[in-house]
Amino acid sequence: MKNRSLEYYKDLIVVLTQKELKVKYKRSFLGYLWSIANPLALALVFFIAFKVVMRIPIENYTLFLITGLFPWQWFSNSVNGSPAVFVGNASLIKKVNFRREVLVIATVLNDMLHFILSIPVIVVFLFIYGMKPSLIWLAGIPVLLILQFIVVFGFSIAISSINLFFRDIERIVFIFTTLMFYLTPIIYSEDMIPHEFRNLILLNPLSTLMISWRNLFMNGTLNFPDIIPCFIYSAILAAIGYFIFRKLNWKFAEVL
């Protein structure tokens, strides 16, 4: 009976993820290209601003940017879109009895797939800069995918649940992700942070993730002691997010 239930929810997540993909690309001529256009455009803007104008002392700066911007886009898209997850599926929640968290899982999975599909673009830039993928990617990519999925899920399920009761949360979330972007070493290196403030970087749950992605793609390294904070943060954020969801879940149909 338990196996049958697991099979049911697995199929439900697959169907919902496919639905998210179809909705995203409905009547879209360029389709997949839109998922990489935004981070590439941002990379161009930051390259001109920081490398050409301000002459920031970072080698291979374009590659440096996109190896941070692509995983960041996954986080940003999922979290900024999370307030609409339950609101946008109101009719489904009110008519069908199912585990509502699968809606959030499907949304986060959808954005994760877009990130995975952007990795070939990173490979192209690696070759442009005379580098190549490393075998450590085979272990590193799955590990970091799981960690980031858990982190994003924790944020998203909390925000999507709270948004049903406080609809202004959507605007707050956008401000939050904007601030987090500039507080995360994406357009600058962690080495540029003054030494006395460098330990504060560990207080940002996304910093170690973005740094780990960059080191994996650019240097072919994955330092497991360095990602221990990622494991801790992912567990804490997922636990808090799911706790909030469980506390509010029973009122969803009532407030929708």
d(CA 166, CA 169): 6
Tell me the CB-side half-sphere exposure of residue 86, using CA atoms within 13 A: 30
How far is the C-alpha of 201 from the C-alpha of 198, rounded, in Å? 6
Task: Quickly list H helices, the chain.
Answer: 2-25, 33-46, 61-81, 83-88, 90-95, 101-128, 137-163, 169-183, 195-198, 207-214, 228-248, 252-255
Residue 75 has pLDDT above 90, yes or no: yes
Tokens, residue 56: 């920031």
Per-residue pLDDT tens for 221-256? Answer: 888 877 888 888 889 999 999 999 888 887 776 766
Percent of the chain with pLDDT over 70: 86
pLDDT in the model for residue 1: 46
Residue 37 confidence class, pLDDT cut points 50, 70, 90: confident
Q: How far apart are CA 69 and CA 76, in angstroms?
A: 10
Residue 168 or residue 60, greater confidence:
60
Report which of 37, 53, 175 is spatially closest to residue 183, judged by C-alpha positions. Answer: 175
Span 113-143, pLDDT tens digits:
889 988 999 999 999 998 999 999 999 999 9
| Whole-number Å distance between alpha carbons of 140 and 214 | 11
pTM (2 d.p.): 0.88
Band of the pLDDT at 26, cuts 50, 70, 90?
A: low
